[in-house]
Chains A and B, each alone.
Chain A
Amino acid sequence: MPQRLAMPVKDRNHSGQLQQDYTGSEILLRCLIEEGVEVVFGYPGGAVLPIYDSLYQGALKHLLARHEQGAIHAADGYARATGKPGVVIATSGPGATNLVTGIANAQMDSIPLVCITGNVPQNLIGTDAFQEADITGITMPITKHSYLVTDVQDLPRVVKEAFHIASTGRPGPVLIDIPKDVSNARSSYSYPDSIHIRGYQPKTDPHPLQISRLHKILTKAEKPLILAGGGVVTAGAEKELIMFAERANIPVTTTLMGLGGFSGQHPLWLGMPGMHGTYAANHALLECDLLIGIGARFDDRVTMGRLDKFATKANIVHIDIDPAEIGKNVDTYIPIVGDVKKVLSTAVAEVPRTPSDAWIEKLQKWVREKPYTFCDSDEELKPQWVIRHLYESTGGDAIVTTDVGQHQMWVAQYFPFANPRSFITSGGLGTMGFGFPAALGAQLGKPEATVISVTGDGGFQMTSQELAVASLANIPVKVAVINNRCLGMVRQWQEVFYKKRYSEVDLADSPDFVKLAESYGVKAWKAENKEEAKRVWKEALSHPGPAVVDFRVAPEENVYPMVAPGTGLDEMIMGDEDK
């Protein structure tokens, strides 16, 4: 292909001023660089040909996924690991619709993404043209905001706004749909240095009155509890949270999305609450007299949808940047709208110590006496053992992504995360196929980190084609396939709630993951027992490139404890022997 100048030469307009003339796609690229974008994930096609032509010069690193869903999950993993917005590019029509799952996934977990799609030229919009899809319409309910750019001159402002909206307030995905004629149109370029969006002014500073109300109620709380969610991680408020909890002497439970937001090693930590949570966390929720929700949204995997049984003895304080979360699911006694980091750093000054010593003693006893348990075996490889081994072999110093299902819950249970952004999981949408590409993105964002993708044999097959990316770009992600030869979580529900009528959950005829990985040029091992597992995992960890380990685990293991949907947190099923 002929080389061409990515950026055309400067010239002067009639008044003698320096003027530059660029195509829309060149402007887009400049804007992305201006925003500090390090890498974009994407897949080309007709409507984004101009954009890909601008990328040709290599001014911006681009990773060619093997499916747009892989690209957007990778961008999402990058965003979760770094806190910076992830960027994905896809073509019109099928390229754009292949992003839909990833956009919904990011929206549910409040992940900043800027999704750029091409569209057919404007004169064809609305005509059912080849590869036309109304992607702004399709994604309206699953984006924080979206733009259809109709004039190339709007592009810098739109990109600037998109990054701002995606990454501030409660973050989320923003879509920019660019018709091909806009990418091709020429215009001068200057990047705006300020932003004013009249309808978007997130409130970050808490109301002082609410903080003093909080202080006042703390002095009387004998059984206080903090429920910390993903908002703590998003806000980077882990230090403030520890300070607040320690000074006020309040135990902490972290939701799935909050794991790592409060250290899993801290004596005040009770574990995760909810459907597969700890006895201590769930019983603390049942008995507390003051519940402080921090960046958590009281969703049904925590409350079990049984608000009549949820924290009924407690006054609820709810701290969140999104006012709409407050009062959405639970009645709130003290609402505090603001950035969690700001709220906690304000609140921690002069925070009184709660009279909670007896309560904490009781909870710590529960933590000690009712930990997660499983029946280990020396014949079979138990999935819980594998997760614990992943933890021990890395000393917990790793970024772990999961897919969705049993293995996800076991990671949440048996890998006590000490640092924020080290646990990456699809919490809200529960998207199978998320974990592996997300790990690739996380690794690109954190090149020095050990990144482990713990995945199921089902979910891995939803996006395993991205092994090609791992291989070609030499992204040293370690994939731990928790291979139980079935769709484990569905199988568990069928066992427990459908009298073992196992319907379409058998994955015995999956491909050999070792051979699959090898065919992509990725090193791979199989492990059938503990000895093998230890040995090959060590090799995988020390291998400089990507690696896959197929852990052949016991197929009939269940995730416990469990609270059945529609029952209260007081009805925990602790294990198989309970049934």
Chain B
Amino acid sequence: MRHILSVLVNDQPRVLARVANLLGRRNFNIESISVGESEEPGLSRMVIVTTGDERTMEQVQKQLHKVIDVIKVQDLSQHSAVERELLLVKVGAGPADRMEIGGIIEPFRASVVDVGPQSLMIQATGERSKLDALLELLHPYGIKEIARTGVTALSRGASKAGTAVLAGG
């Protein structure tokens, strides 16, 4: 099963390396890791998307806790959470295609952020599946380059305010 872990870590050099190293060494799957500032100065929030059965997930969390720079680990799959990813995609598109592409991306609330003579850059945010669906529709136009941030997420409700900033991927 897919899990999203929200991990508060000390904003220290190498903290990403420590976490990534641990996950790799223990043979845990990583779909994505994103890291950025948190609501508290000196702490970063890491959002790790991983898959595994219950036992594996328990191990992942316990092993993460052993990293001295890890302050808190939360499995967002057990809470109601908002999950988002940012996608930038460059599509081959001459002036003739632009209207049509505009029509495709509109329901996705995506926007055109850069226009070249033979290409368009589109920005979209949303859950992973939504971005995948958008990419599929854009495919026929010829996708030149893709950059995705990986998932970031926050639990819903009043538990703790603040936003995670996207970075890395």
Task: Give the B-binding residues of A (Cβ under 8 A).
Answer: 136-137, 140-141, 144-145, 148, 165, 197-200, 322-324, 326-328
Which listed residue, A199, A326, A328, touches B67 by the CB 8 Å rule? A199
Residues of the A chain whose Cβ atoms lie less than 8 Å from the Cβ of B65: 323-324
The answer on a CB contact under 8 Å between B62 and A323 is yes
Shortest distance between the CB of B111 and any CB in chain A (Å): 39
- Cβ of B148 within 8 Å of any chain A Cβ, yes or no, is no
The answer on a CB contact under 8 Å between B59 and A199 is no
23 A-B pairs with C-beta separation under 8 A: A140-B14, A140-B18, A141-B21, A141-B22, A141-B25, A145-B68, A148-B13, A148-B14, A198-B10, A198-B71, A199-B9, A199-B10, A199-B67, A199-B68, A199-B70, A200-B68, A323-B62, A323-B65, A324-B62, A324-B66, A327-B58, A327-B62, A328-B59
Assembled-state Cα–Cα distance A148/B13 (Å): 9
- Cβ of B109 within 8 Å of any chain A Cβ, yes or no, is no
The answer on a CB contact under 8 Å between A322 and B58 is no
Q: What is the 8 Å Cβ interface bit string for chain B, positions 53-79, against chain A (1 contact, 0 not)?
A: 001001100110111111100000000
Shortest distance between the CB of B66 and any CB in chain A (Å): 6
Task: Give the A-binding residues of B (Cβ under 8 A).
Answer: 9-10, 13-14, 17-18, 21-22, 25, 55, 58-59, 62-63, 65-71
Shortest distance between the CB of A198 and any CB in chain B (Å): 6
The 5 lowest CB-CB distance pairs between A and B, nearest first, are A324-B62, A145-B68, A199-B71, A141-B25, A200-B68
Known: A324-B63, A328-B59. A140 touches B70 (CB 8 A): no
Residues of the A chain whose Cβ atoms lie less than 8 Å from the Cβ of B17: 137, 140
Assembled-state Cα–Cα distance A324/B65 (Å): 9
Assembled-state Cα–Cα distance A144/B68 (Å): 8
Shortest distance between the CB of A426 and any CB in chain B (Å): 21
The answer on a CB contact under 8 Å between A324 and B59 is yes
Shortest distance between the CB of A260 and any CB in chain B (Å): 27
**A200 — nearest CB in chain B belongs to which residue?**
B68
Assembled-state Cα–Cα distance A145/B18 (Å): 10
Known: A148-B13, A197-B68, A199-B68. A140 touches B59 (CB 8 A): no
Residues of the A chain whose Cβ atoms lie less than 8 Å from the Cβ of B13: 148
The answer on a CB contact under 8 Å between A136 and B14 is yes
Assembled-state Cα–Cα distance A148/B10 (Å): 15
Which listed residue, B25, B55, B69, touches A199 by the CB 8 Å rule? B69
Residues of the A chain whose Cβ atoms lie less than 8 Å from the Cβ of B59: 324, 327-328
Shortest distance between the CB of A122 and any CB in chain B (Å): 12
The answer on a CB contact under 8 Å between A165 and B68 is yes
Assembled-state Cα–Cα distance A327/B9 (Å): 25
Residues of the A chain whose Cβ atoms lie less than 8 Å from the Cβ of B63: 324
Shortest distance between the CB of A175 and any CB in chain B (Å): 12
Shortest distance between the CB of B24 and any CB in chain A (Å): 9
